[in-house]
Structure 1
Amino acid sequence: MNSERDLDSEDEIETKKVRYSSPACDRSSEKYPNEELRGLVKGVSANYLMNEENFLSTGCPHLDVILKGGFPNRGVTQIYGTAGTGKTQIALQLCLTVQLPISVGGYDAGAIYISTEGTFPSKRLQDLLRYSKLAAQFNITANNIFVERVIESSELEKCLLQRIPYLMACRKIGLLVLDSIAAPYRGEYSTTELKNRGKDLWNISRQLHTLARQYNLTVVCVNQVSAVVSPSKYEAIYVDERPALGIIWANMITNNFYLCRNDTHRYFHVMQSSYLGRSSIEYKITNSGVMGVA
């Protein structure tokens, strides 16, 4: 893991493993004091799940309104769009807001940023830290953002299965960003290997959902786009592009947010979500981040 902060000693890791383990991991003893009942009942109540649901603020009140609080800590949320629409900008912005106190929409935690597109966008992060009023007000730093650089799909799978859980054991993490999911898969597989690609994508998505559930993480995947040859009449109202990687990956996504640009105007579309209806808002990219236009 790349960060300006060193990992703790083994003793500290064991202590923090207990402290930062997900509250959803094992509360059966609280709900079912009888040992026999704990062995039979594996589910949790709807009320319990509602109480565990949190939303990570984007740092922009206008965006938070249409998202009903922000990015959820349930499932996997995808941001997709063409280059230059602000996908990475939003991902970096969330790396700052996750450090905010819970009372103002943050998680009071750090972020893990998995970069597959080559160089981590450190210059953009520095600009956000320099110009963001929230960063100055709440002393947000880059020390709480942990960066992993991966290139190949096999390396990504190893990262999610081994290195991320290790870091979760010794740091308080509230956000996991994968930027982008498409990069390791678009050029690594030939036409005859597409079946293997589907299997690998399913493994990655399953692990992302597992991490989100076990640690109450907000998981955000940045994706590229593919052209739509003949969109349906309803889709044509919104877009002529779809997220890359096909139907297998699309079926594993909980929330789909699409960013597009029309001349000088940029639009944030809620395309598909487990808790939101379709909606749109215009936004602009400033030195202090992505901001919705009222």
Structure 2
Amino acid sequence: MDWDQFDLNPKTIAALKKADIKSVKEILNLSGADLQRLMKLSSADIQCLLKTVSRTLRENSMLTALQLYQDKDHLTSQHQKLSLGCSVLDNLLRGGIPLVGITELSGESSAGKTQISLQLCLCVQYPYKYGGLESGAVYICTEDVFPSKRLQQLIDQQHKLRADVPAEVIQKIRFGNSIFVERAADLDTFQQCITRKLSLLLARGMVRLVVIDSLAALFRCEFGPSESALKARYLQTFGAQLHSLSTRFRTPIMCINQNPRSAANLVFVLQVTDAVSELEAAQCSCRAVGNRVTPALGITWSNQLLMRLMVSRVSLPGHSSGVASHCTGSMRTLSVVFAPHLPPSFCYYTVQLEGVKGINNSLALIKHLAPQLYQNLAEDFSRDNRV
């Protein structure tokens, strides 16, 4: 950064160079007290520095209402979303994942976070007409090995999951050729990945989706209890860099996170009243029992997010947790914790061989969770109609 181009006191410019502060982001990531200590300047000089830097940023990024109206591409991207490949899940999110901003997907182990992320990596490659972005995806693994076998299963089953897309369109897409996998096991490698490799792929238009699985793994062993300030600084830096890439290239950023108290499962109890006499009137409700789960990384990271989604398994009365955890297609929930454009809400979904599928009504929920009850209701309804 050439500080001589800024309208600053020569003494302040010399202090910036001596403190080895090389960018505006470094200044904004530090508090006034930290800057004063590093640069050995007065409080008035630091305030003048912050005002000058902030004014410069506002001048570079400010747009008038007329400019926004004339920028058709920008206006379109504000309303466009990346589909999850399922109409039920898209309806919950009013179209899908926003193109600009960081979306977090949190939840306990085996809740379906990776399954949803893999499905997004395939959905982004579809034409705009079918909810895609006609581009590839970057999948950054920080902990586990990339699930390439599961990805291939999803690719082979796309014709079943995406019945809304003509078969000839699916056959033309080379899904496996447009997913770039990167391994980043520490903070330095992750930093280089997002500043160099990721920026290059985005600039060339080769990708329009970034999945980080997971950010929490990078911080699990790096910082002790006494290093919370340094940890927060790293989180703010990463958040700022990811936001910049997302805004510049209009690319959704999906960050997977864990719930540290994953053993505290949510128990959903299906309640069907005796008053139900017709199949269409079948109703179900759910209530949460147990300890509240909270995503890792704390409030510093939460403030970087546009939207937080949470997934969880549903434990049913009479089913042991060991059996449920290995049951293909077992019930899960996807919840909107917070988002500027969505109310807190949730829907049920299952993970099947062909991918993640939402359950769109209470009748389908009963059929999935209590097939015998569903059969009894169907027989009663059929008998009543015959009479």
- TM-score between the two structures when normalised by the length of structure 2: 0.61
Identify the residue that residue 126 of structure 1 maps to in structure 2.
152
* Corresponding position of 2:63: 43
Question: Do the aligned partners of residues 50 and 40 (structure 1) sit closer, same or farther apart at CA in structure 2, a change above 3 Å counting?
Answer: closer
Runs of at least 4 residues off by over 4 Å = 46-49, 235-239
Q: Which residue is 2:124 aligned to?
A: 98
Secondary structure of 1:174's partner?
A: strand
Offset at 1:41? 8.2
What is the aligned counterpart of 1:277 among 343, 346, 352?
Answer: 343
Over 3 Å counting, the alpha-carbon distance change for 1:239 and 1:142 in structure 2 is farther
Conservation of the 8 A alpha-carbon contact between 2:158 and 2:170: no
CA distance in 2, matches of 1:200, 1:41: 24
**Amino acid corresponding to residue 114 of structure 2 in structure 1:** T
CA distance in 1, matches of 2:245, 2:60: 25
Query: Residue 292 of structure 1: which of 358, 362, 365 is its match?
Result: 358
Q: Distance in 1 between matches of 2:202 and 2:64?
A: 24
Deviation (angstroms), 1:237: 7.8
Asked if the contact 1:182/1:224 (under 8 Å) is kept, the reply is yes
Separation of aligned partners in 1, 2:305 and 2:245: 14
Higher strand content, 1 or 2: 1
2:90 aligned with 1:64: yes
Q: Secondary structure at the match of 1:242?
A: coil
Opposite residue 173 of structure 1, the aligned amino acid is V
Considering fraction of residues, name the structure with more helix.
2
1:197 equivalent in alignment to 2:231? yes
> Residue 145 of structure 1 is aligned with which of 159, 164, 179?
179
- Root-mean-square deviation over aligned CA pairs: 2.2
Q: CA deviation at 1:272?
A: 0.2
Structure 2 equivalent of residue 258 of structure 1 = 310
Aligned equivalents of 2:214 and 2:61: distance in 1? 39
For 2:290 and 2:100, locate their aligned partners in 1 and report how far apart those are by CA, in whole Å: 26
> 1:226 deviation in Å?
2.5
Which fold has the larger relative contact order, with Cα–Cα distance below 8 Å and residues 6 or more apart in sequence?
1
1:52 aligns to 2:77 (yes or no): yes
Change (3 A) 1:163 1:239: farther
Once the two structures are overlaid, the 10-residue window that deviates more, 75-84 or 185-194, is 185-194
The aligned residue for residue 182 of structure 1 is 216
Question: How far apart are residue 236 of structure 1 and its match?
Answer: 6.9
Residue 224, structure 1, aligned to residue 258, structure 2: yes
Q: Is the 8 A contact 2:212 2:255 kept in 1?
A: yes
1:160 partnered with 2:194: yes
> Structure 1 residues 191, 126: CA separation in 2 closer, same or farther (over 3 Å shift)?
same
Tell whether 2:310 aligns with 1:245. Answer: no
AA matched with 2:356: V
The 1:239–1:205 alpha-carbon spacing in structure 2 relative to 1, beyond 3 Å, is farther
Give the aligned length.
Answer: 250
Q: Does the 8 Å CA contact 1:58/1:97 hold for their aligned counterparts?
A: yes
Specify every segment of 5 or more residues in structure 1 that has no aligned partner in the other structure, as ranges: 1-38, 229-234
* TM-score relative to the length of structure 1: 0.80
Q: CA deviation at 1:72?
A: 0.7
Cα deviation 1:104-127 (Å, max 9, x = unaligned): 110011111111123111111011
How much has 1:169 moved relative to structure 2?
Answer: 2.6
| Contact 1:256 1:273 (C-alpha < 8 Å) held by counterparts | yes
Residue by residue over 1:33-84, the C-alpha shift from the partner in whole angstroms, topping out at 9 and shown as x without a partner, is xxxxxx8983153545542222000000110111111111121000000011
Partner AA of 2:170 in structure 1: F
Contact 1:118 1:149 (C-alpha < 8 Å) held by counterparts: no
Corresponding residue SS for 1:138: helix
Contact 1:118 1:151 (C-alpha < 8 Å) held by counterparts: no
SS, match of residue 125 in structure 1: helix
Partner of residue 246, structure 2: 212
Q: Which of these two proteins has the greater Rg computed from alpha carbons?
A: 2
Question: CA 1:174/1:194 → structure 2, altered by over 3 Å: closer, same or farther?
Answer: same
